[in-house]
Amino acid sequence: MTLISTKAIPVRERLIMALDVPSIPEAQALVEELGDSVIFYKVGMELFMSGDYFGFIEWLKQQNKKVFVDLKFFDVPETVGRAIKALSSKGVDLATIHGNDAIMEAAAKSKGDLKVLAVTALTSLDRGDLDDLGFKCDVRDLVLSRAKRALQIGCDGIVSSGLEVSMIREELGQKLLVITPGIRPVDNRVDDDQKRVVSVEMAFENGADYIVVGRPIRDAADRKAMAEKIQAQILSQF
């Protein structure tokens, strides 16, 4: 049984570039440098703290880019619901939430056309980290439980390591969007803070709909060439 995504997503939109840079001007310069090699961008907490976050989102939309807001909303359910409702008016395509069923329910009810993604387990966490946080279950069991609850509650998808995507597809089929971070197209570096990583090919073979790539493009000598290399790797899967 093939696990390759069957969703009608343009192939070049399956790469999401993480704009993990310190300032809005640096982010804009990177987007301009990458040009048409990247269509979809993730904007997270670092840029949220650096300046005109929503002005930058508007600028991205003016460049005909798609936007993934990765702020992992986690608060009182009513507060999260209101935040998601406000975000849905900004033209954003994807957004992450965290937390329990009540938080997911509040977000699902308020999302409008915005697609809401529940975070399962961060790719920077390994078994020892989960023990420290009080999760005594296996990582795979935790991820699958979160995915099942997200689907039942009405979230559009999840964020999951590529290591668990095949399990999710085998259990839940193609019902959820699955966005996979922690992608390393080359050998993982010793100083990398991502612990549960996969290659581009493995992520899609396991059933990911989108991959999120940051550091391998951002730190490349030729960023656009690296983005195009990854796009070619994605195309080879479809």
Q: What CATH number has the domain bearing residue 163?
A: 3.20.20.70
Is residue 2 domain-resident? Answer: no
Is 220 within a domain? yes
* Residue from 42, 65, 66, 72 carrying the catalytic annotation: 72
| Res. 137 pLDDT band, cuts 50 70 90 | low
Q: Which of 110, 123, 121 is nearest to 147 (CA)?
A: 121
Query: Residue 154: what residue type?
Result: G
Establish whether 111 is a catalytic residue: no
- Tell me the residue range of the domain where 37 lies: 11-235
Distances in whole angstroms, Cα of residue 24 to Cα of each of 21, 31, 42, 54, 68: 8, 11, 13, 10, 16
| Residue matched to tokens 């009405």 | 154
List, for residues 213-222, the tens digit of each pLDDT value: 999 999 999 9
pLDDT at 128 (0 to 100): 54
| The token pair that represents 39 in the structure block | 């269509």
Give the count of domains, the chain.
Answer: 1
Alpha helices in 123-199 (DSSP H): 127-132, 139-153, 162-172
Domain assignment present for residue 6? The answer is no
Span 10-47, pLDDT tens digits: 999 999 999 999 999 999 999 999 999 999 999 999 99
Residue 218's identity, in one-letter code, is R
* φ, ψ of residue 89 in degrees (nearest 5): -90, 0
Structure token pair of residue 117: 């993604």
Position 4 in a domain: no
Q: Specify the residue for token string 């975070």.
A: 119
Residue 179 pLDDT grade (very low, low, confident, very high; cuts 50, 70, 90): very high
